[in-house]
Chains A and B, each alone.
Chain A
Amino acid sequence: MAYQSSIHSGDKQRKQPGLHAVVAVEDLTPTAYILRFEREGMDFEPGQHILLGEAGRSQMREYSIYSGKEDPYLEVLVREVKDGLVSRRLRKLRPGMMLKVEPPVGFFTLPFQRLPHDRFLFIASGTGIAPFHSFLRSYDDLDYTLVHGIRYSNERFGLESYDPERYITCTSRDEQGHYQGRLTTWLQQQAVEDIAMVYLCGNYGMILEAMDILRTKGIRENQMHAEVYF
């Protein structure tokens, strides 16, 4: 057995930096859940992501922060991946169990200096709504439209945090959304002239298709910011 200079065991875990206790695992759908854990003083910019995993295990994954900048805890919105090495185990964690969390990073953040009348278009698919949820829990002065592409209406994650007048759902498998069909089909039918910035988060295919549509509508490259969920 090799010599190694750090120890993890029992109560010592709680005292080590980078370890955060689980507060709750909140099931949302059969494949999505919120993982809530102690903040331990960690600061972040809404839109950033963290690398996290179960303490004592080697596998870690990146997750966008779902909670707001002033919330007393940290949350991530997790899609359970079939045969995934991390997402399935995280769902089984119980309050008090420890997570290993690396500091927040990433550039999918709002500009520091926003003009008062800047309008934002937020485009999300599935759990890609997480950074927008964090934006909207953190800033109450945003002029935005949030479009969410989901399969079923029970995937309207964090519904209570959005202004009902500004939140548009596109559901592909039920008729409960504002628009029944694909998000990109909805987007093709919209005018976007007065949009200052577009933020896109979700799967690769949706983002590329949406960017192509936005370009045809006159949105320039430097107006678009994308965070791809892989």
Chain B
Amino acid sequence: MKYHLITLGCQMNVSDSERVKTILEDKLGYQWTDDEQEAGLLGILACSVRQKAIDKVYSRIHAWNKQKNKRHLITFVSGCILAQDKERFLKLFDLVFSMRELPQLPEMLSQYGIANPAGLQAIGYGASEMPGMGPFWNITPHYESRFEAYIPIQNGCDKFCTFCAVPYTRGREVSRPSEEILAEVQSLVEQGYRSITLLGQNVNSYGLDKKGAELRFPELLQAIGEIGRQSGQDFWTYFTSPHPRDMGDDVIDVIAAYPVLAKQLHLPIQSGDDEVLVRMNRKHNTERYRQIVSKIRSTLPNATLFTDIIVGFTGETDAQFANTMKAMEEFRYHMAYIAMYSPRPGAASSRWADDIPHDVKKERYHVLSSRLAEISHDHLQEMIGKTYKVLVRGKDRKAGYLSGMTEGRIVLRFPSEDEQLIGQFVVVTIDNAADFSAEGKLAETPQVIEHV
């Protein structure tokens, strides 16, 4: 039997999909197909971050249910699902389960079609009634890549940012046991993985839910640093995403101490205006953010800095947006993921008027993105003539080129058709720069290599 799985949303869902594939392929004997038409099992890992993503789920299931008249087909949905959508999905999909329940998927599939009391109870339940995350985390994932891997270290979120529905879809913050995380890191390092990304909604509050009975995030990073030191292997460890509220100096100090901890930080600011930050319930202000960036720049002078920004949040005035522009100027990000605000169903802000006209949001998006492009270009110009270690990730869109990224996740390409290099570190000298990417040539002899 063949299956097809659609994964929507963030890296967390991509990581979850790797464990879903393990269950389907190793436990149930399903085979992957790219073609939905030949699949007997169709699934979606949903994302509730934006209405558009949820609309996609409804669109697919309506199409799939039409096919049910013509062929035997089982459908399922999991991922980030709001309670109100879950109630609707129960009527549309054959199986609806949370990631915590993934280990029971074989049982659910074997019972599917048999009338049972559970199947007749279409009522949602809270996170505290679900099974723990342990059995899910213990599933060995089918990593999508042979050299880059995601490792979930935490599930859920306690922060309740008003624009976000994650606390309502994934529940409270739960930390995965550090011994499991470190065992997974050790295994990946032994297999020669080059890039490892620790995943969580607020990675730097890792361990705090265990009230002293678990490593804290800087201690977890240190343990990974030690794995790197003892293995002698060359790899980069990233994490996403941290919340400024819990970002301590100790995290930055430990990154400085270990070469395998990548000198790249993704620190979401969301807005450069203190009043908007209060309304977003971010629990930090621009001054606190400034202190963190100052610590990063003094301790990790070569680190790249990425961020997330929302423009056009409910009630955002021109003056408040101007403060976000100032933040862009001050923090000089290497990359920013800028989003026009749209209410996310289930989040607190979805109950407020979405009162910034779309044209205004578009204009703010355009102005901020343009300035980001200029700043990014300036950063890349400074790289010209310098030589960097690069992880080769695949063939570039430009024929005859391979593409990769530096330790600081700066994307670049270089002329080569040697696909054996994919998944390897090479050394590239930069000779050209665009807005968000650079171009260079393989360095023929080892030279002084710039960090990041």
Interface residues of chain A, those whose CB is within 8 Å of chain B, are 1-9, 16-19, 51, 56-60, 62, 100-103, 105-107, 204, 207-208, 221, 226, 228, 230
Contacts and interface: CB of A to CB of B under 8 A. Distances in A.
A59 B160 CA distance: 15
Interface string B265-293: 00000000001001101010101100000
A18 B128 contact: yes
B112 interface: yes
B278 A105 contact: no
Interface string B225-258: 0000000000000000000010000000000000
Contacts of B117: 7
The interface residues of chain A, by DSSP majority, are classed as: loop
Contact of B281 (A9, A17, A57, A230): A230
Contact of A204 (B97, B104, B127, B278): B278
Contacts of A100: 125-126
10 closest Cβ pairs, A-B complex: A58-B83, A18-B128, A105-B158, A2-B90, A58-B124, A2-B96, A100-B126, A3-B119, A230-B348, A18-B126
B122 A4 contact: yes
Interface string B62-98: 0000000000000000000011101101111111110
Nearest to B286: A221
Contacts of A208: 275, 278
Contacts of A221: 285, 287-288
Contacts of A228: 278-279, 281
Contact of A2 (B84, B89, B281, B351): B89
A57 B122 CA distance: 11
B287 A103 contact: no
Contacts of A101: 126, 128
B160 A62 contact: yes
Nearest to A49: B160
A98 B442 CA distance: 66
A207 B278 contact: yes
Given A6-B118, A60-B83, A62-B160, 13 more contacts: A3-B95, A7-B118, A8-B125, A18-B127, A18-B128, A56-B123, A58-B84, A59-B84, A101-B128, A204-B278, A208-B275, A230-B162, A230-B352
A112 to B, nearest CB: 12
B129 A18 contact: yes
B448 interface: no
Contact of B83 (A9, A18, A59): A59
Contacts of B278: 204, 207-208, 226, 228
B168 interface: yes
A40 to B, nearest CB: 10
A62 B159 CA distance: 12
Contacts of A103: 128, 172
Residue among A5, A6, A101 having the largest count of chain B Cβ atoms under 10 Å? A5
9 contacts: A2-B122, A3-B108, A4-B97, A6-B118, A58-B83, A102-B171, A106-B158, A107-B245, A221-B288
A127 to B, nearest CB: 16
Contacts of A19: 129
A3 B124 contact: no
A60 B84 CA distance: 11
Contacts, number: 110
A106 to B, nearest CB: 7
Nearest to A81: B351
Contacts of B281: 228, 230
Interface string B168-191: 100111000000000000000000
B111 interface: yes
A118 B36 CA distance: 66
Interface string B124-136: 1111111000000
Contacts of B285: 221
Contact of B97 (A5, A58, A102, A106): A5
Contacts of B111: 3
Contacts of B121: 4, 6-9
A58 B87 contact: yes
Nearest to A8: B123
A9 B283 CA distance: 39
Contacts of B283: 107
Given A103-B172, A105-B172, A221-B288, A6 B129 contact: yes
A1 B83 contact: no
Q: Which of A17, A59, A62, A105 has the most CB of B within 10 A?
A: A105
Nearest to A230: B348
Nearest to A9: B121
B399 interface: no
B118 A4 contact: yes
Contacts of A16: 129
Nearest to A48: B158
Contact of B96 (A4, A17, A51, A59): A4
B214 interface: no
B120 interface: yes
A230 B162 CA distance: 9
B129 A17 contact: yes
Nearest to A3: B119
B101 interface: yes
Given A62-B160, A204-B278, A1 B119 contact: yes
A213 B92 CA distance: 54
B167 interface: yes
A106 B160 CA distance: 9
B129 A51 contact: no
Contacts of A8: 121, 123, 125
Contact of B128 (A9, A102, A105, A207): A102
B211 to A, nearest CB: 10
A103 B156 CA distance: 13
A3 B84 contact: no
A134 B2 CA distance: 56
